[in-house]
Chain A
Amino acid sequence: MSEFRPHAQGAARPALAIRDLTVDFQRRSGALRTVDKVSLDVWPKEIVGVIGESGSGKTMTALSAMRLLPHGARIGGAIALGGRDLVDIGESEMRALRGDRIALIPQDAMQSLNPTMRVGRQVGEPYEFHRKQSYGAIWSKVVELLRAVKIADPETRARDYPHQFSGGMQQRAMIAMGLALDPELIIADEPTTALDVTVQARILKLLRDIRDERGSAILFITHELGIVAELCDWVYVMKDGKVVEDGPVKRIFEAPKADYTRMLLEATPSIHRRKGAKR
C-alpha cells in the first residue's frame, strides 16, 4: 500500500496498530476463525472506518483491541496501543487501560446505561476508577463533559436517570463517558445505528469536532457506506474475517479495486441509479 496517508505523515507511530490478528473460537467441530490475519492502523487524529456486512469480523476486530471478546475466544497476532502491546499483558493491566487510554462507544446507548444509576454518576465513572478524585471534582468534570457533547442544561440533566434521556442524548452521554480521560483511541461500534438520520448527522458532527478539538484517533465500525463517506479519512473493507481492501475514502468510493467493494457500493440504493434504471 503506497497510497498517500496524510495522518501518517509526521506521526511517530500509529495510535493503534494491529498486525496479523486472528480470532478463533473453539467449537466441537474444530476452531472457527472469525478474524483472519487482519492488519490495520489508526494514526493519531485520524478517523478510520471499518466497513463490512454482518459477520465480516469487524466488531470482533474492534473488541480484540479492548480485549473484551466473548468467552472462549483466542487471539493471535499483535495489537499495540501507542506502542504498548495489548495481547500479552495481564488482565489487571488491561483493565487499567480500558476507559482511560482506550474507550468504547457502544452501539445501543440505552442498553449500555445502567438504569438504576444517574447519568452523571455513570459518565463520571472513568474518573472514579482511573483517577480517584473527590466527588465534587468529578461532578464538575461531568458537567463539563456533558456540555462538550452539547447536552443542554448539563447541571440538571446530569441528575437524570437514563430513561429520562432521549436516544440521541443517551448516545451523547456514552460519547461523553468515552471522552472522559482523553483516550488515545476511541472505538465506536456502530454508534448511530439505533438513531434516526437527523440525530445521526449531529452525532457524526460531534465525533468530528471531538477529533478536531481533542485529537483522539477514532476507529469507526459500521455497515453504512454513507456514514463512512461523510466521516472517515481512511477505510478498511472487511469480508469473511479478512481485509479485502483499504485506502483513502475518496479513492475507495470512486475507484474501488476489490470486486467485493464494488459489489458493496452497487448494493447501496441510490436515487440516481433508480432513475436511470427506469428507462
Chain B
Amino acid sequence: MTTAARKPFNWRRWRLVVTGGTIVGTIMLLAILAPWVAPYSPFDLNVAQMLKGPSAAHLLGTDELGRDVLSRVIHAARLSMMVAVLASLVGLVFGTLIGTLAAYFGGIVDLVLMRLMEILFSFPAILLAIVLMASLGTSIFNAMIAIGIIFIPGFARLARATAESVLRQQYVEQARAIGMSHTRILVREILPNILAPLLVEAAVAFSYAVLLESALSFLGLGAQPPDPSWGNMLNTGRGFMGVAPWLSIVPGAAIFLTVLGFNMLGDGLRDAFDPQLRDE
C-alpha cells in the first residue's frame, strides 16, 4: 500500500455534486459579475417600456416601472448570494465554536450551551427571523445576522455530536499524552476531523438562507426597494400576476434553481463523503 493506484473518476458518486456545483457556480458567477453581465442597470426607469413581455431588447420583459427584469434578477442574485454566504458563515463559525466547546468541556458548560441552543431551536425559523428583524431593524445586513443566528443551533448540534465521537478517538488521548494543551487539541485534533459534515451542512444552510432571505424580503423586512431582491420582486409581481406573469415567474424560478442547486450539492457532498456509501 505504498502508493494506491488512482481510482478512475466515479461519475455515479459525483453526479449530484457536479450538477449542483454547475448550477451554483453559474449563479455565483452571475452574481459576482452582475454589473458587467446585466444588459441594463437594475434601477433605470423607462415608463414607455413598462410591463412589456419578453422581447429581443428585454429578454425577460420589464416590470411595472419599465425596469429590465433580467438585469434586476441578476443583481438580486448578488444580494441573495452575499446574504447566503455570510449567514451560513455566521452559523458555521459560531455553531462550530459552541458545539465543540460543549462537547470538549462537557458537564455544566455542555448543559448551559446546549439548553441555550435548544431554546433558539424551539422557535419556528421564520418567526424567529421576524422577531430578530423587528428588534434589529430592517436592513439587508440585519437580515443576514438574523438568518445566521437561526443557523447557529443546527450547526452547534451537529458539531457537538461529531466532536463527541472524535473525542472518543484514541488520537485525542494520544495528543494529551504528548502534552498538548486544550486549545491545541481543539484546533489540531478535533476541528479538522469534524469539518466534513459541517461543510456539507453549510451547503444545505446556503439554500435555506436563500429561501429565508427571499421570504424576509417578500415581507418587506429584507432588501428595501429600489434594491432588487428575489423576494421583493416576487412581492411586486404578485399584483401583476394576470397581466405580467413573468414578473413572478422569473424571480420564482431563480429561487427554485438556486435552492435546487445547493441541495443537490449538499446531498451529493454528503453521499460522497459518507464512508458507508463509498466504492459501491
Contacts and interface: CB of A to CB of B under 8 A. Distances in A.
The reply to whether chain A is a binding partner of chain B is yes
Interface of A: 66, 68, 71, 95-100, 103-104, 106-108, 111-117, 125-126, 129-130, 164, 166, 174, 177
Interface string B159-183: 0000000000111011111111100
Contacts of B179: 95-100, 126, 129-130
17 contacts: A68-B173, A71-B106, A95-B180, A104-B178, A108-B170, A111-B171, A112-B173, A114-B175, A114-B193, A116-B192, A125-B180, A126-B179, A129-B178, A164-B4, A166-B1, A174-B174, A177-B178
Nearest to B196: A116
Given A66-B177, A112-B174, 15 more contacts: A104-B178, A108-B170, A111-B169, A112-B171, A112-B173, A113-B174, A114-B193, A115-B171, A116-B192, A117-B192, A125-B180, A129-B179, A129-B184, A130-B179, A164-B2
A76 B179 CA distance: 22
Contacts of B106: 71
B190 to A, nearest CB: 10
B177 A114 contact: no
Contacts of A166: 1
Contact of A112 (B1, B3, B170, B184): B170
Contacts of B115: none
Contacts of B189: 114
Contacts of A117: 188, 192
Contacts of A103: 177-178
A260 B181 CA distance: 42
Contacts of A164: 1-4
A262 B161 CA distance: 47
B193 A99 contact: no
Given A129-B184, A164-B1, A166-B1, A113 B178 contact: no
Nearest to B184: A129
A130 B179 CA distance: 8
B170 A111 contact: yes
Most buried by A among B169, B173, B184: B173
Contacts of A125: 175, 178, 180
B178 A114 contact: no
Nearest to B3: A164
Nearest to B2: A164
Interface in B178-205: 178-181, 184, 188-189, 192-193
A95 B188 CA distance: 17
A104 B192 contact: no
A161 B160 CA distance: 26
B178 A98 contact: yes
B186 to A, nearest CB: 13
B50 to A, nearest CB: 58
A133 to B, nearest CB: 15
A96 B180 CA distance: 9
A73 B57 CA distance: 78
Contacts of A99: 177-179
A182 B186 CA distance: 27
Interface in B86-105: none
Contacts of B177: 66, 68, 98-99, 103-104, 106
Contacts of B4: 164
B4 to A, nearest CB: 8
A106 B2 contact: no
B1 A106 contact: no
Nearest to B170: A111
A100 B188 CA distance: 19
Given A164-B1, A164-B2, A113 B176 contact: no
The 4 closest A-B pairs by CB, nearest first: A99-B178, A111-B170, A98-B179, A116-B192
Contacts of A106: 170, 173-174, 177
Nearest to A162: B171
Contacts of A66: 177
A119 to B, nearest CB: 12
B195 to A, nearest CB: 8
A99 B174 CA distance: 9
B117 to A, nearest CB: 23
A95 B176 CA distance: 8
Contacts of B175: 114, 125
A95 B170 contact: no
Nearest to A100: B179
Nearest to B171: A114
A257 B164 CA distance: 46
A228 B125 CA distance: 62
Contacts of A104: 174, 177-178
A98 B181 CA distance: 11
